[in-house]
Amino acid sequence: AETVHPIVEEWHMEHSGLIKMEEQLFQDCAELRRAGFHTSGVYTLHIANLSEPKKVFCDMETDGGGWTVIQLRANGSLSFQRSWREYKQGFGDAAGEHWLGNEAVHLLTSRAPYALRVELRDWEGSQVYAHYGKFQLGSERQLYR
């Protein structure tokens, strides 16, 4: 079963009883990390201009933590032969193999500077990675380039 980490909610006492204050909304895993969340796992993000919240896997340990995982392919259990619409919206399960979605990645990388870390691990456990200091994905009109 997938565990979704809760985002902090504040409750305050008023004359009529408890009222719920606004939830803290986070747009990426780096914001969560800065707010004190240090456990890797699935979190719900509220990405600006995206129609609904998105469940994402946050890597809070690698290279300082705060990484928003946009793709995970581990064992081939999920087909990545998908339509334009599926790549736009995202597919899979944030706790397993998935693609976050071109629109979400575009909206994230358009609002602030982002880095991209690509990790490759072979069946024997050897691992290499590439780090790109500047990463941005264009809009759908730009064919997500």
DSSP track, 50-91 = -SS-EEEEEE-SGGGS-EEE-EE-SSS-S-----HHHHHH-E
pLDDT in tens, 37-81: 999 999 999 999 999 999 999 999 999 999 999 999 999 999 999
Confidence bin at 8 (pLDDT 50/70/90): very low
| pLDDT (average), residues 121-144 | 95
SS3 32: helix
List beta partners, residue 107.
Answer: none
- Domain ranges in the chain are 24-135
pLDDT number for residue 28 = 96
pLDDT in tens, 81-95: 999 999 999 999 999
Residues 6+ apart with CB under 8 A from 39: 5, 60
- Which strand (E) or helix (H) includes residue 17? strand 17-20
Q: Yes or no: is domain 24-135 CATH 3.90.215.10?
A: yes
The whole-angstrom separation of Cα 78 and Cα 128 is 23
Q: Is the pLDDT assigned to residue 12 strictly greater than 50?
A: no
pLDDT number for residue 86 = 98
Report the amino acid identity of residue 126. Answer: S
Which tokens in the block code for residue 26? 């986070």
The whole-angstrom separation of Cα 70 and Cα 29 is 11
DSSP 21: P
Confidence bin at 9 (pLDDT 50/70/90): very low
pLDDT number for residue 21 = 46
**What are the φ/ψ torsions at residue 141 (nearest 5 degrees)?**
-60, -30
DSSP 41: E
Residues 6+ apart with CB under 8 A from 29: 43, 45, 56, 58, 59, 60, 65, 66, 67, 68, 69
pLDDT number for residue 23 = 66
